[in-house]
Structure 1
Amino acid sequence: MNQALREMGKALAKARYVYASAGNVSMRHEGETMLITASGSDLASLQLDDVGICSFDGTWRGRRKPSKEWRMHGVCYETWADVGAVIHATPFYATWLGCMNEQEDLSGLFVEAMYYLRRIERVPYLDPGSEELAEAVGEAIRRGNILLLENHGVLIAETSLNEAWAALETLEMAAKMVVLAQVSGSTMNQVDEAKQEAFLRSERYKPAHPLHQQMEGGR
């Protein structure tokens, strides 16, 4: 699993979804613990020592202390049993969208958005690593697994690293479409909600997302 986090760090850097020492990644580990990147890590070149084990209450072991954002990662795992990985990144267009006052519905823009972007929440700016931010994330993550952290970046909680990556790419694609449409003054078409629901219930697409099912039906 350590290697999986290292590979994800490289992928995030290569796609320019993180910069400098921004961003952090974690995976659910044994019991009430997670593997998480260390504080100040360069995700583009993670070493073995750059990943440690941290409990949801902040107790950790490893050669380097965990990211200061461990609290908001931990609350995602505590809230939903199906969450297996969390990515905090700063993709350009999604971060831009989080800095704008307008709230856009992204789920009806294209097929993948219908699946991955149905549950997006916004979290007002609070200092990175603070207990206040973790509390706000804890409230928002009950309603949506993709969070736009205003003036900060994005947080994605998913069933696996692969699903988190897919959601992140879908989010950035949709955000780019919205931002460019606004800049150019274009009007975008949306698939209406009834057609979205019908499509997701049909046999022509993958089954309902397990995390979304859990959110809809309660824990």
Structure 2
Amino acid sequence: MEQELEKKLEQAIWVAHSLFDRNKTNGSSANLSFIHNDKIYISGSGTCFGTLKKTEFSIVDFSGKRYNEVKPSKELPLHKIFYEKNHKVRAIVHIHSFYSVIFSCLDGENTIPKYTPYLEMKLGKIGVIPYAPPGTEELFALFAERADEKRGYLLKNHGQLVGGGDIIKAFYGAEELEESAKVAWYLREKNVSLLP
């Protein structure tokens, strides 16, 4: 296995295990991917971040051709659309982390309030994608219609989808989105208004 691919796989495994071990995801509900040599390496269908292995990545090109026997996550089209909409994104993390899900369930198009500067510094504006059931053509169509050059999205009543230049940067973005959501939810519960 070539050295660059090996490093990307090792980083992806570390990200998955770190998110699982710190309760940012559970069961088999999350997925991640990265691009290598114009192919998408995405965690396989039904895999768990807590036990994810290098052999559990599906390898798919942008036309949909598969290069191994691992069935890709059903959210593969979301990843593919994200890569096509923002060519700077080379890796994606999709998790159903607690506070991000809370904000994804709130009414309206509002995203996470900017109490601290870090979310905007690390991710920029967060997009909101209307609800459609996970893994459906309806969701993929809504994402294709709404996605642009943003690096972070809340999928309504679903969770977060964050991209970056590599898997570590996508991980940092996902972490910042969740922490910003946690701070905002705490302050909302305390009825703290936005600072000037």
Using the TM superposition, give the Cα deviation of residue 37 of structure 1 relative to its aligned residue in structure 2, in angstroms: 0.3
Identity of aligned residues (%): 26
Aligned equivalent of 1:194: none
Aligned equivalent of 1:214: none
What is the CA–CA distance in structure 1 between the aligned matches of 2:26 and 2:98, rounded to whole Å? 10
Q: Is the 8 A contact 2:111 2:127 kept in 1?
A: no
Tell me the TM-score normalised to structure 2 length. Answer: 0.88
Number of aligned residues:
188
Q: Does 1:11 align with 2:21?
A: no
Structure 1 residue ranges, 4+ long, deviating more than 3 angstroms after superposition? none
Using the TM superposition, give the Cα deviation of residue 138 of structure 1 relative to its aligned residue in structure 2, in angstroms: 2.2
What is the CA–CA distance in structure 1 between the aligned matches of 2:64 and 2:22, rounded to whole Å? 30
Tell me the TM-score normalised to structure 1 length. Answer: 0.80
Q: Is the 8 A contact 1:84 1:161 kept in 2?
A: yes
Using the TM superposition, give the Cα deviation of residue 160 of structure 1 relative to its aligned residue in structure 2, in angstroms: 1.3
- Higher Rg of the two aligned structures: 1
Give unmatched runs, 5+ long, in structure 2: 1-7
User: Cα deviation per residue 1:79-105 (whole Å; 9 max; x = unaligned)?
Assistant: 222111011001110110001115145
RMSD of aligned alpha carbons: 1.7
Using the TM superposition, give the Cα deviation of residue 168 of structure 1 relative to its aligned residue in structure 2, in angstroms: 1.2
Give unmatched runs, 5+ long, in structure 1: 191-219
What is the CA–CA distance in structure 2 between the aligned matches of 1:57 and 1:13, rounded to whole Å? 31
Aligned equivalent of 1:195: none
Q: 2:177 aligns with which of 144, 147, 171?
A: 171
What is the CA–CA distance in structure 1 between the aligned matches of 2:130 and 2:158, rounded to whole Å? 9
Q: 2:190 aligns with which of 184, 189, 206?
A: 184
Q: 2:60 aligns with which of 30, 54, 63?
A: 54
- Which structure has the higher relative contact order (CA within 8 Å, separation 6+)? 2
**Residue type at the aligned position of 2:128:** R
Higher alpha-carbon deviation: 118-127 or 92-101: 118-127
Q: 1:104 to 1:122 in 2, by over 3 A?
A: closer
